[in-house]
Amino acid sequence: MIKTGIYGLPDFELDIIEKIMDVPELNIVGMYSPHQHVNEDLHLRYKLKTYTDPNLLINDVEAIIALSPMSGLDKVEELVRNSKHVFFEPSSDYCNRDVNKLSDIVDEANVKVQAGFHHRFNNTFLSAKPFIINPKFIQANYFRKFSFGTESCSVLMDMLISDIDIVLGMIRSNLKSVHANATTINKNDPDIINVRMEFMNGAVAQLTAGRIATSNTHEISFYCDNDYTNIDLVRNKAWQVKKRNQESNMKLFQENIGDLIVDPIPVKPNNHYYDEFSSFAKSIVMDKSPEVDLETVLRAYSVAAQIKDKIKLSVG
């Protein structure tokens, strides 16, 4: 088993700690939080050893799961320099240059580093993924219900980045060009961003995200040669539209409505936090590249950097 420490505190779901403890390959030695009262509460709840000195925890483990607020670039660098395998949560403060630097350090240290791209392990996406073959056009719409809390949410780095990563993972071709526009309503960061990504193989992705809506929505449609698949990441539903007669020479959208079938895709239950930590553990045990390695993060952040340059021009 891998001697593992929890570094920081999940400020969104405490049961994330339970998911970490459920992974059979991980032996949770203890945890450190900069807030002492949190350490005491978690010690009582989970019977975990709590450290008042982070360096003592680092010395006692082989791997670290770095959560907010201990998952910043400087903290991850320190852990990697100490030859620790690291799972970390990239934040909107990261930029392409930072990830490049971290990648060089990881290569030197010869450790496994996995980024927390939670959408990669979403059960609806994973259930629909096998049905999506060589998508030619991808349409994504991601909107969050407006509240005072969403003002601190970056539309680009907290919302669009997930769909950018999904597109890059599904379209097996080099990126040809990126076009982007943004609308700013509150005279601050962009509130709505629209992106068009064009690939060398002719595939296109159209992505829109915004933080001013009356309800939360997140849907992605994948249009392929003979069918298209739609996934609803909020309602956890997926379905595929295809031709009733698969032998027909007619193209999908030349068929009459009655000649098309809408097939629901069964969505398998899972917990994406558990699956992420399990994937991280297996990459260490099997000595293989993590599911979301730094190269994956670099690709997504490189596109985000291009979008950032484009929307500076569009919002003026």
Domains delineated in the chain:
2-111 (3.40.50.720), 120-268+304-315 (3.30.360.10)
Per-residue pLDDT tens listing for the chain (316 residues): 999 999 887 555 567 888 899 999 999 999 888 776 666 666 677 778 888 899 999 999 999 999 877 888 888 999 999 999 999 988 766 666 667 778 888 888 899 999 999 899 999 999 999 999 999 999 999 999 987 655 567 899 889 999 999 999 999 999 999 999 999 886 678 999 999 999 999 999 999 999 989 999 999 999 998 889 999 999 999 999 987 666 666 555 544 555 678 899 999 888 888 999 999 999 999 999 999 998 898 899 899 999 999 998 665 5
| pTM score of the predicted model | 0.85
DSSP secondary structure, the chain, as one string: -EEEEEES--SS-TTHHHHHHH-TTEEEEEEE-S-HHHHHHHHHHH---EESSHHHHHHH-SEEEE-TTS-SHHHHHHHHHTT-EEEE---TT--HHHHHHHHHHHHHHT--EEE--GGGG-HHHHHHGGG--S-SEEEEEEEEE--GGGGGS-IIIIIIHHHHHHHHHH--S-EEEEEEEEE-SSSSS-SEEEEEEEETTS-EEEEEEEEEESS-EEEEEEE-SSEEEEEETTTTEEEEEEES-TT--S-GGGS-GGGEEEEEPPPPP--HHHHHHHHHHHHHHTT---TT-HHHHHHHHHHHHHHHHHHHHHH-
